Amino acid sequence: MSNHHMTPELEDDSVNETIQYVTIFISGQLFGLPINRVHDVFVPESVTRVPLSQVEIAGVLNLRGRIVTAIDMRKRLGLPPHEHEGSMMAIGIEFKEESYGLIIDSVGEVLDLSETSREAVPSNLDSRWADIAAGVHRLDRELMVILDVDRVLGDMVTTGVAA
Amino acid sequence: MDDLLREFIEETNESLDVVDVELVKFEQEPNNAQILDNIFRLVHTIKGTCGFLGLPRLESLAHAAETLMGKFRDGAPVTGEAVSIILVSLDRIKEIVGELEANEAEPEGSDDDLIDQLDRLSGVGKWAGQGTSVVDQASGGGAEAPAADVAEETPAAEAPSEGEPAHEVYQVLERELKAGEVSLDELERAFREADGPEDFDVAQSAKEAAEAAVADAAAQKRLGKVPTTKAPAEKAPVAKKKKEEPKAEKEQKSGGGAHQSIRVNVETLEHLMTMVSELVLTRNQLLEIVRRHEDSEFKVPLQRLSNVTVELQEGVMKTRMQPIGNAWQKLPRIVRDLANDLHKEIDLVMIGQDTELDRQVLELIKDPLTHMVRNSADHGLENGEERVAMGKPAKGTVTLSAYHEGGHIIIDISDDGRGINTEKVKEKILKNELATEAELDKMSEQQINKFIFAAGFSTAEKVTNVSGRGVGMDVVRNNIELIGGSVDLKSIPGKGSTFSIKIPLTLAIVSTLLVEASGDRFAIPQLSVVELVRVQNNSEHKIERIKDTPVLRLRNKLLPLIHLSNLLGIDNKGETNDIELDDNGFIVVMQVGAQTFGVVVDAVFHTEEIVVKPMATMLRHLTMFSGNTILGDGSVIMILDPNGVAQAFGSHVGTDVEASTEAAEKEALPEEQNTVSLLIFRAGSPEPKAVPLSLVTRLEEFEIEQIEFSNGRDMVQYRGSLMPLVQVNDFVQRRTEGSQPMLVFSDAGRSMGLVVDEIVDIVDEQLNIEVSSEVPGILGTAVIKGKATEIIDVGHFLPQAFEDWFHRKEMSDEDLLTKKLLFVDDSSFFRNMLGPVLKAAGYEVTICSSGSEALSVLERDPSYEIVVSDIEMPEMNGFELCEAIRRQPATRDIPIIALSSLCTPAAIERGRQAGFNDYVAKFDRPGLIASLKEQRIELGVAA
């Protein structure tokens, strides 16, 4: 009981803090995930479909003995399916003590970004994206959308129960 | 919470449980010093630790109890009163410990009441000096009754303990293994099975397997950590060690042979389990790699690794198993208290405590079991006088027994009490409107008794504090069904009742059947699979359709079918909404409750014991699945939930299908399922009378003035001709004014009016004539809408109106030769009804009540000129009979007319195929006569 270890939470957004992000690509768009939420990066293999589940759920798979629920991030963002399904990657996430895998196109690098340079989500952004975005960083070449993992998954749990 | 405090609470709770049991035992065996020593030591430990931790309230109470027990040890007589007080004190200690656990502090309050009583009995404190006299008194006069109790209860306690001395020793020397605890043996074995690290050098050298080896090494490391728990370092704190010492002493005393055990955290075990699963998967991967490289040097060591892994897995699985005796531990105390409260003498016999089952299941059945034992003791057993009056021993017995039976564990709770009073159950059912009287009439006693599992049911006349507190057997049943078990009961009035609980050994491991649909695999729990049917176009089982609904004819029953792909909406082909069921495939026949249905799958693989893992929250709303698991090959598979499937089945198949299935069932099932529309009326007496509606042409009411009297009988003008009126009997009230109701029967332009008092109703009912009648005009009596109803014989009245009603047509056929006719019908109603009709039509009629009877009649005498047969008959139906007749050369050419209440084109076609010459509706009497005539003419022409 005493050695129960807590999932690391997002750091307090003290102004000068920098946050490390794992960058990922989904359909050409750059996204960032706070590194402390990323448990694994793996290649999703032999995903078992779950009939009757929400469309965003790609299925379930075995990741080192744990059953991981795979979320198709393209579907989650309302994007068309990937042409080369074979080359996809997945980000392992823990959410409410369960394992999830976000299926994405590819993984980029790890970036140290200052909290101060984070900007709010533009108000005209597609509501599907805006709902799960925690902000935007202006990088030299492109824009990086910060994914709010809790909302990506949390919203699905609620809709799942309602459905 | 302070580690020390937590340790104390855990340990104290455990000790208290043991003391509870031991005390009850001790009460029955006051001379057993070993039991007393054990109790004394446990209470002493509690007291000592309390002092150490600064818990004054607990300490003083434990001290007082210990003092009294010390007196016992010094030879003071053990009385029921004293034991009761100690038990109450223990309960108080438990309460305080409970509070302590919640608030980390002793609750406010005083235990002086108890301490005072304890002191009084042990003769200390302010009772010093007079104490002995109190004890004497207690043992002398006042405590006579409990003392008697003790003497009589002794054999009860002895019985189980004699049955398993090992358990006894183990209990005395040690505490019971707690939930999640593993015996030392088990753990030792696990270590032995796990290979030393050197075995993994092999794996390390294989580049592909490098990752796997890391995982294994990690597993090893974790395993390696566990032995340290044996040394006091990590897991065993000081308090533990302290406890160990007296134990060791004890072991020596009783000559060793004791079960060694250490405490292991449940989480540690679960983790171990996961790691083993991982090891299995890694092993599988390695095997796969080696398979690709033919003569690999890894082959042999891998084989070894594989075997070890299997054994390791089994060993770890076994650590989850616990003897069911653990769930029964509290029962002796409960029964003892119950016996006191109810003033009954109760013997609790426990058989098969060693039967092992998964700890999770064990936890879940604890409460239902307790409730059922209470129930048996309270409701089941009579009180002493009643028992003696019935010639039974005054002491009632409640027997608990557990045993394995094919992957299940069966627990029987039986009493030798009064049995279930079915009449009372009935009353209660009616009162609570759980069923109607008519429904009850059709049920067996067994079925009625089962209503005690229905919600909101309690037969106890008075609500005692023991049972009947709102939670009834329905809760028990629900809890048991929740873990995939079932409850059954048997009861013999005056002899007692037995409840049988059947539960799976473990929830974690389920035996499943792996199937495939649309390329995906699914697991179906074996428990709900009744059988597998292979369907092929040319085999006897083939898929048939009723209005596009697939059904399977399986042993005279129609089984609704659905393809798993449709059920799950995983239609890959995407052509139509529903996959065409091709006529080759497998049908998994499943039964859920009373519902039986067939699930069509593309392929059936094998059965596999799987470890159920809960689904992610995100998927939990899917009622179709109960969980998922990782198979041996590393892939994840979804486990179908039979209940969900059954539910979805109903809604998916939809209502129209249900209706047609019902119709189909009607067609397939014998008469008892068939309902007949009956016209209910009254004539001459208040009892209802009935006639099949299909025989009645019209219902009419004639003004009294219209009724004329002519040629000695009543007539009315009806549709341009005179219609004679006949009364059902002489008691029918002839009205003097207003109108007279009557039933009109017409045939070939002639009509007859049957005068009745009142037309009551038209009902659809199964018609079973139970009592046949001697009275002319009455076929017999049947129960209709719960009332005895006379069925009238229309055939009796028709000739009263026209003497030649049945004869005239035949009279015109000049040949008056009687023809021999064989009439087959399983329904006595139709035999009685049509027999005379056929006779009247000029045949010499032989009546048979079954197909086989008809065949033997024909065998003896094949000279029958025509056979009239019912279709829906049990055992051999009309089609089969017809085919059989056609097979015999002697009877091959006899014309056969089918008589059926169901005349669908399909049925008629089937009839033709079977070889029937004609197919006539059962109530179409003119049609039958016409058909008979036709056959005779044809025969005449042929002859």
pLDDT digits (tens, 9 = 90+) for B7-16: 778 778 888 8
Does residue B510 form part of some domain?
Answer: no
Question: With 80 as the cut, is the pLDDT of residue B108 above it?
Answer: no
CB of A51 within 8 Å of a chain B CB? The answer is yes
What is the model's pLDDT at position B523? 93
Q: Which amino acid is at B97?
A: V
What is the model's pLDDT at position B455? 65
- What's the token pair of residue B351? 């058989």
Mean pLDDT, chain B, rounded, equals 72
Question: With 80 as the cut, is the pLDDT of residue B771 above it?
Answer: no
Between CA A137 and CA A122 the distance in angstroms is 11
Q: Could you tell me if B840 and B928 are in contact, meaning their C-beta atoms sit under 8 angstroms apart? A: no
pLDDT in tens, A120-155: 888 888 888 888 888 999 888 889 999 998 888 887
Summarize the confidence of residues B765-770 as an average pLDDT: 68
Higher-pLDDT residue of B827, A43? A43
Same domain, B114 and B190: no
Q: Which of B616, B635, B199, B618 is nearest to B627 (CA)?
A: B616
Q: Could you tell me if A70 and A58 are in contact, meaning their C-beta atoms sit under 8 angstroms apart? A: yes
What is the model's pLDDT at position B183? 56
Q: What residues 521-540 of chain B have any CB closer than 8 A to a CB of chain A?
A: 521
Q: Which of B361, B636, B901 is nearest to A99 (CA)?
A: B636
Per-residue confidence band for B193, with pLDDT thresholds at 50, 70 and 90 = low
In this structure, are strands A106-114 and A98-104 parallel, antiparallel, or unpaired? unpaired
Higher-pLDDT residue of B200, A65? A65
Question: With 90 as the cut, is the pLDDT of residue B638 above it?
Answer: yes
Domain boundaries, chain A: 19-162
Summarize the confidence of residues A105-113 as an average pLDDT: 90
In sequence order, what DSSP letters do the residues of B914-941 get, joined into one string? Answer: HT-SEEEETT-HHHHHHHHHHHHHHHHH
Question: With 80 as the cut, is the pLDDT of residue B317 above it?
Answer: no
The answer to which of A15-29, B142-156, B285-299 has the lowest mean pLDDT is: B142-156
Summarize the confidence of residues B815-838 as an average pLDDT: 73
Does residue B654 form part of some domain?
Answer: yes
Between CA B307 and CA B298 the distance in angstroms is 14
Give the Cβ contact number of residue B237 at 10 Å. Answer: 14
Higher-pLDDT residue of B851, B506? B851
Q: Which of B57, B682, B426, B520 is nearest to A49 (CA)?
A: B520
Residues 6+ apart with CB under 8 A from B319: B182, B186, B187, B190, B264, B269, B272
What is the model's pLDDT at position B491? 85
Question: With 50 as the cut, is the pLDDT of residue B474 above it?
Answer: yes
The total of structural domains in chain B comes to: 6
Same domain, B262 and B389: no
Select the residue of A2, A51, A66 nearest B570 (Cβ to Cβ).
A51
Q: Please judge whether B619 and A53 are an interchain contact, meaning their C-beta atoms are less than 8 angstroms apart.
A: yes
Select the residue of A46, A64, A160 nearest B618 (Cβ to Cβ).
A160
Higher-pLDDT residue of A61, B9? A61
Secondary structure (3-state) at A130: helix
Between CA B845 and CA B869 the distance in angstroms is 12
What is the model's pLDDT at position B681? 87
What is the model's pLDDT at position B242? 42
What is the model's pLDDT at position B395? 87
What is the model's pLDDT at position B809? 44
Between CA B512 and CA B266 the distance in angstroms is 26
Q: State how far the alpha carbon of A156 is from the alpha carbons of A67, A131, B198, in Å.
A: 18, 12, 47
Question: With 90 as the cut, is the pLDDT of residue B781 above it?
Answer: no
- Residue for token digits 């008194």? B137
User: Which site among B278, B625, B636 would you substitute to test the A interface, given the most A Cβ atoms closer than 10 Å to its Cβ?
Assistant: B636
Q: Please judge whether B520 and A49 are an interchain contact, meaning their C-beta atoms are less than 8 angstroms apart.
A: yes
Question: With 70 as the cut, is the pLDDT of residue A3 above it?
Answer: no
Summarize the confidence of residues B553-560 as an average pLDDT: 79
Between CA B440 and CA B466 the distance in angstroms is 30
CB of A2 within 8 Å of a chain B CB? The answer is yes
Q: Could you tell me if B569 and A54 are in contact, meaning their C-beta atoms sit under 8 angstroms apart? A: no
What is the model's pLDDT at position B670? 37
Summarize the confidence of residues B680-705 as an average pLDDT: 80
Same domain, B488 and B573: no
Question: With 80 as the cut, is the pLDDT of residue A70 above it?
Answer: yes
% pLDDT > 70, chain B: 71
Q: Which of B544, B530, B653 is nearest to B594 (CA)?
A: B530
What is the model's pLDDT at position A21? 92
Between helices B331-342 and B144-163, what is the axis angle to 10°?
Answer: 150
Q: Tell whether ipTM is more than 0.85.
A: no
Same domain, B700 and B785: yes
Kind and range of the H or E run holding B862: none
The CATH number of whichever domain residue B763 belongs to comes to: 2.40.50.180
Contacts A–B by Cβ distance under 8 A: 82
Residue B21: phi and psi, rounded to 5, are -65, -45
B267: region left, alpha or beta (phi > 0 left; psi from -120 to 50 alpha): alpha
- Residue for token digits 């033997």? B856
pTM assigned to the model: 0.43
CB of A161 within 8 Å of a chain B CB? The answer is yes
- What's the token pair of residue B750? 């002639």
**Among B173, B198, B217, residue at a domain's last position:** B173
Q: Which of A53, A93, A92 is nearest to A75 (CA)?
A: A53
Give the Cβ contact number of residue B320 at 10 Å. Answer: 24
Q: Could you tell me if A149 and A37 are in contact, meaning their C-beta atoms sit under 8 angstroms apart? A: yes
**Could you tell me what percentage of chain A is helix, strand and coil, using 3-state DSSP and rounding each to the nearest 5?**
20, 45, 35
Question: With 90 as the cut, is the pLDDT of residue A92 above it?
Answer: yes
In this structure, are strands B529-535 and B918-921 parallel, antiparallel, or unpaired? unpaired
**First vs last C-alpha separation in chain A:** 36
Q: Which amino acid is at B900?
A: S
Summarize the confidence of residues B447-475 as an average pLDDT: 61
Per-residue confidence band for A85, with pLDDT thresholds at 50, 70 and 90 = low
* Closest CA–CA distance from residue B506 to any residue of chain A (Å): 20
Summarize the confidence of residues B516-520 as an average pLDDT: 87
pLDDT in tens, B421-444: 888 888 888 887 777 888 888 777
Summarize the confidence of residues B574-597 as an average pLDDT: 68
Q: Could you tell me if B715 and B722 are in contact, meaning their C-beta atoms sit under 8 angstroms apart? A: yes
What is the model's pLDDT at position A69? 93
Q: Please judge whether B636 and A153 are an interchain contact, meaning their C-beta atoms are less than 8 angstroms apart.
A: no
Does residue B705 form part of some domain?
Answer: yes
Between CA A78 and CA A76 the distance in angstroms is 6
Question: With 80 as the cut, is the pLDDT of residue B942 above it?
Answer: no
Between CA B117 and CA B115 the distance in angstroms is 5
List the beta bridge partners of residue B784: B787
Q: Please judge whether B617 and A157 are an interchain contact, meaning their C-beta atoms are less than 8 angstroms apart.
A: yes
Q: Could you tell me if B728 and B689 are in contact, meaning their C-beta atoms sit under 8 angstroms apart? A: yes
Q: Which of B330, B356, B366 is nearest to B480 (CA)?
A: B366
Summarize the confidence of residues B343-371 as an average pLDDT: 84
Higher-pLDDT residue of B285, B386? B386
Per-residue confidence band for B747, with pLDDT thresholds at 50, 70 and 90 = low
Question: With 60 as the cut, is the pLDDT of residue B235 above it?
Answer: no
Chain B residues with CB-CB distance to A96 below 8 A? 617
Between helices B238-253 and B3-28, what is the axis angle to 10°?
Answer: 30
CB of A53 within 8 Å of a chain B CB? The answer is yes
* Closest CA–CA distance from residue B47 to any residue of chain A (Å): 26
Chain B residues with CB-CB distance to A66 below 8 A? 274
Q: Please judge whether B628 and A60 are an interchain contact, meaning their C-beta atoms are less than 8 angstroms apart.
A: yes
Select the residue of B277, B624, B638 nearest A48 (Cβ to Cβ).
B638
CB of B630 within 8 Å of a chain A CB? The answer is yes
Does residue B552 form part of some domain?
Answer: yes
Give the Cβ contact number of residue B192 at 10 Å. Answer: 12
**Among B780, B801, B822, residue at a domain's last position:** B801
Which burial class, exposed, middle or buried, applies to B754 when counting CB atoms under 10 A from its CB (0-12, 13-18, 19+)? Answer: buried
Between CA B701 and CA B233 the distance in angstroms is 102
* Closest CA–CA distance from residue B312 to any residue of chain A (Å): 16
The answer to which of B3-12, B111-120, B253-262, B718-727 has the lowest mean pLDDT is: B253-262
Chain B residues with CB-CB distance to A51 below 8 A? 520, 568-570, 624, 638
Same domain, B540 and B688: no
Does residue B397 form part of some domain?
Answer: yes
Question: With 60 as the cut, is the pLDDT of residue B129 above it?
Answer: no
Question: With 50 as the cut, is the pLDDT of residue B658 above it?
Answer: no
* Closest CA–CA distance from residue A52 to any residue of chain B (Å): 6
Summarize the confidence of residues B311-315 as an average pLDDT: 82
Select the residue of B274, B568, B618 nearest A156 (Cβ to Cβ).
B618
Question: With 80 as the cut, is the pLDDT of residue B851 above it?
Answer: yes
* Closest CA–CA distance from residue A11 to any residue of chain B (Å): 26
Which burial class, exposed, middle or buried, applies to B392 when counting CB atoms under 10 A from its CB (0-12, 13-18, 19+)? Answer: buried
Secondary structure (3-state) at B83: helix
Per-residue confidence band for B582, with pLDDT thresholds at 50, 70 and 90 = low
Q: Please judge whether B619 and A100 are an interchain contact, meaning their C-beta atoms are less than 8 angstroms apart.
A: no
Residues 6+ apart with CB under 8 A from B811: B804
Number of DSSP helices (H) and strands (E) in chain B, helices first: 31, 37
Between CA B818 and CA B900 the distance in angstroms is 25
Question: With 80 as the cut, is the pLDDT of residue B726 above it?
Answer: yes
What is the model's pLDDT at position B125? 53
Secondary structure (3-state) at B539: coil
Summarize the confidence of residues B104-125 as an average pLDDT: 77
Select the residue of B278, B625, B630 nearest A67 (Cβ to Cβ).
B630
Long-range Cβ pairs for the range A139-142 (8 Å, 24+): A139/A30, A139/A111, A142/A30
Please provide the CATH number assigned to the domain covering A19-162: 2.40.50.180
Summarize the confidence of residues B70-77 as an average pLDDT: 77
The answer to which of B3-7, B89-93, B347-351 has the lowest mean pLDDT is: B3-7
What is the model's pLDDT at position A72? 92
Q: Which of B770, B774, B761, B772 is nearest to B691 (CA)?
A: B761
Question: With 90 as the cut, is the pLDDT of residue B204 above it?
Answer: no
CB of A29 within 8 Å of a chain B CB? The answer is no
Higher-pLDDT residue of A13, A112? A112
Half-sphere exposure of B250 (CA within 13 A, CB side): 22
Question: With 70 as the cut, is the pLDDT of residue B615 above it?
Answer: yes
Per-residue confidence band for B581, with pLDDT thresholds at 50, 70 and 90 = low
Does residue B76 form part of some domain?
Answer: yes
Residues 6+ apart with CB under 8 A from A151: A131, A132, A134
Select the residue of A46, A48, A52 nearest B569 (Cβ to Cβ).
A52
Long-range Cβ pairs for the range B726-730 (8 Å, 24+): B726/B752, B726/B753, B726/B754, B726/B755, B726/B797, B726/B800, B726/B801, B727/B683, B727/B684, B727/B754, B727/B755, B728/B683, B728/B684, B728/B689, B728/B754, B728/B755, B728/B756, B728/B777, B728/B792, B728/B797, B729/B683, B729/B684, B729/B777, B730/B684
Same domain, B123 and B197: no
Range of the domain at B148: 3-173
Does residue B382 form part of some domain?
Answer: yes
What is the model's pLDDT at position A68? 93
Select the residue of A53, A67, A100 nearest B622 (Cβ to Cβ).
A53
Between CA B161 and CA B552 the distance in angstroms is 55
Between CA B524 and CA B638 the distance in angstroms is 9
**Among B273, B295, B319, residue at a domain's last position:** B319
What is the model's pLDDT at position B656? 36
Summarize the confidence of residues B304-328 as an average pLDDT: 83
What is the model's pLDDT at position B667? 38
Largest Cα–Cα separation, chain A:
48
Secondary structure (3-state) at B831: helix
CB of B762 within 8 Å of a chain A CB? The answer is no
Same domain, B796 and B817: no
Chain A residues with CB-CB distance to B634 below 8 A? 46, 62
- What's the token pair of residue B498? 């037995």
Q: Which of B505, B175, B166 is nearest to B356 (CA)?
A: B505
How large is the C-alpha radius of gyration of chain B? 39
* Closest CA–CA distance from residue A24 to any residue of chain B (Å): 24
Summarize the confidence of residues B24-46 as an average pLDDT: 79
Between CA B587 and CA B599 the distance in angstroms is 5
Query: What string of H, E and C letters represents the secondary structure of B218-262?
Result: HHHHHHHHHHHHHCCCCCCCHHHHHHHHHHHHHHHHCCCCCCCEE
